[in-house]
Amino acid sequence: MGHERGEDASGPDAGGREGDVRSESGDGARSDSEGGARSDSGGDARSGGEGGAIPDDEREALETIAHGAVLTSGGVAGQRALIAATEFALTRGLGPTAYGVYALAWRIAQLLSRLVTFGSVPAIQRYLPEYAADADRQGAVAGLAYATTLGFGAAIAAGVWLAAPAINARTVTEPAFAGTMRAFGGLVGLLGVVMVASALFRAVGSARGEILFNKLLRPGVRLVGAVGALALGYSVVGVAGAIVAATALLAAAAVPLSASVTGVRPTLRGARAEARRFYDHAAPVAMSSLGKVFQNRVDVLLVGALLTATAAGVYNVVLVVIAVAWIPLLSFNQLLPPVTSELYANDRTATLNAVYGSVTRQIVTAVVPILAVLAVYGREILALFGEAYVDGYLPLVVYLGGVFVGSAVGATGWLLMMTDHQYARMALDWLLAGLNVGLTYAFVVRYGLVGAALGTSLAIAVQNGIQVVLLRHFEGLWPFDRTFLTPLAAGGVAVAAMYAVRTLLTGLPAVLAGSAVGLAAYAASLRLIGVDPRDRFVARRLARRYRTALAERVER
């Protein structure tokens, strides 16, 4: 998700996808071991076969982003596992109705957490790499981000406290909802502090720090708080309070640790001089985020308002399962923003286009088998949470269509933001938000849970389709070529293999065996059809890198 500017890059192959862009980086570059990459001038300069030589700066960017994706995918997978474990414990410990109360309050808090930083996280990604040589300006940006988040967090907590009874009266009308919602109102600002601290790690290229705090510790403390409260016999309100207390401890630790590790020390000294530029970027991003609440998450609010607490719980479980399918896109987006910012600042749009195309194809290659598993075995997976949640299968399948489109266009939103087209994205977000509210309301009234998923999927598909067109219009960026057909064809083979297994087995054994067979068929098909040279280069370089790192650890 992003934007770009720079050299004249026009047409679908702008940026020399076949290797005719010359390197601007000379002998390559080194970056830190946290999230960077090393580009050497020998050996791997060529990918072999078609494509010829891959320019040095493109090789460095691809390896940096892919290394960040590998690190992040493990962290995000761990995050999803922790989230699933939390939801599993709560579905079993609270029962369908009480879990529905929790789910609606939690989702509202999650929506508000998208607003609480007021665009500070993308602003950090945009300006910290640019101010790499000026520690004072970096500190001022960080200070503005924390101050903004704390201010909005306090305002949101007060607003939620006052509005909770009214929200309950217009949604689930359950006695426990108001207390649960009020507790989660205090959680929003704490989540924002953790997100800002994590963004500092990300902006300096430290994937591990961001993964640790944002992907692992944040859901980890929620799991500990929830399980502890359930073990002590607390109600849903007590569970919410325990989660808030655990998150407060994490936020208190995140701020000093991020400053110590990144060297970016938050301060308000000099903040006034930075404020105009900071908020010029952050404000439209914040308005985009508000628009996206209505565009992509109005389904959660409408399910709570128009359906039952139990339906809200079922839909929440669907969202938990769907979250697994977003892992590839989130993983590759980990270090794409700072790489994009650097390439854009140096007017290397041709390289940026080549990187965008390669990374997007890698995202599609990674997401197709996940979508296949969820589509074929979705009923069995939902049944793990309880039989009541199998009703979410059709909404799950409908939602997968939106996930595919959102993944297939790559990081369009980030690219728009990193190339200073944040106002265009803001306008688009609000235009589609209005459309989505109307359509999703009509769909939920007519089709229930399926309508909620349909409205959101359409919103995701329309926005991402328009964003990729805007990127081509503004910057000449275009990721697609015929190499994208390879993972789609391999995905068809994988689906056929999984359905064959399903005719022989049922339940959890079918999921485990069918997934293994499907993934094997997918990998074999990719190998048979042929993988793009850039993808082979990335795979070989990372494999060599990790073998070397593993050998060094063994020798110690």
> How confident is the model over 449-507, as pLDDT tens digits?
999 999 888 888 888 899 899 888 887 888 888 889 999 999 999 999 999 999 998 88
Q: What pLDDT score does 14 carry?
A: 33
503 or 19: which leads in pLDDT:
503
Q: Would you state the pLDDT for residue 51?
A: 41
Confidence (pLDDT) at 1: 43
2: β partners: 415
Give percent above pLDDT 70 in the chain.
Answer: 89
| Residue 53: DSSP 8-state | B
Taken in order 431, 432, 435, 440, the sign of the CA dihedral is: negative
pLDDT for residue 207: 65
Answer whether residue 12 shows pLDDT above 50: no
Residue with tokens 């960080």: 142
C-alpha 164/C-alpha 162 separation (Å) is 6
pLDDT at 2 over 80: no
pLDDT score for 41: 35
- CB of 418 closer than 8 Å to CB of 123: no
In whole angstroms, what separates CA 32 from the centre of its chain?
Answer: 23
Please say whether the beta carbons of 120 and 191 come within 8 A. no
Q: What is the DSSP letter of 136?
A: H
Angle (CA) 108 111 116, round 5°: 120
CA distances (Å), 362 to each of 14, 163, 534, in order? 19, 44, 10
Sign of CA dihedral 323, 329, 334, 337: negative
How far apart CA 499 and CA 227 sit, in angstroms, is 37
Distance from C-alpha of 485 to C-alpha of 209, rounded to nearest angstrom: 36
Contact 100, 392 (CB under 8 A): no
Summarize pLDDT for 42-96 with one digit per residue, the tens: 333 333 444 457 777 788 888 888 887 887 787 778 888 999 999 999 998 998 8
| Confidence class for position 296, pLDDT limits 50, 70, 90 | low
Q: What is the mean pLDDT of residues 113-123?
A: 87
Decide: helix, strand or coil at residue 18: coil
Beta strands in 309-451 (DSSP E): none
Decide: 533 and 47 in contact? Cβ < 8 Å: yes
For the chain, give the mean pLDDT: 82
Could you tell me the two tokens for 78? 């761990």
**CA-to-CA distance for 89 and 223, rounded, in angstroms?**
9
The three-state DSSP-derived secondary structure of 64-123 is HHHHHHHHHHHHHHHHHHHHHHHHHHHHHHHCHHHHHHHHHHHHHHHHHHCCCCCCHHHH
* SS3 (DSSP) at 2: strand
For the purposes of burial, counting CB atoms within 10 Å of the CB of 327, is it exposed (0-12), middle (13-18) or buried (19 or more)? buried
- Contacts with 26 (C-beta within 8 Å, 6 or more apart), sequence order: 56
Show the tokens assigned to 511: 């999921």
The DSSP bridge partners found for residue 46 are 53
How many C-beta atoms lie closer than 10 Å to residue 135's C-beta? Answer: 13
State residue 375's pLDDT score: 96
Max CA-CA distance within the chain? 68
Distance between CA atoms of residues 261 and 465, nearest Å:
39
Of residues 322, 416, 342, 365, the one with CA closest to residue 66: 365
Residue 175, number of CB atoms within 10 A of its CB: 10
Closest CA to 363 of 66, 165, 32, 107: 66
Distance CA 361, CA 57 (A): 19
Could you tell me the sign of the dihedral formed by the alpha carbons of 99, 101, 104, 106, in that order?
negative
Average pLDDT over residues 260-272: 81
Here the tokens at position 269 are: 């000294």
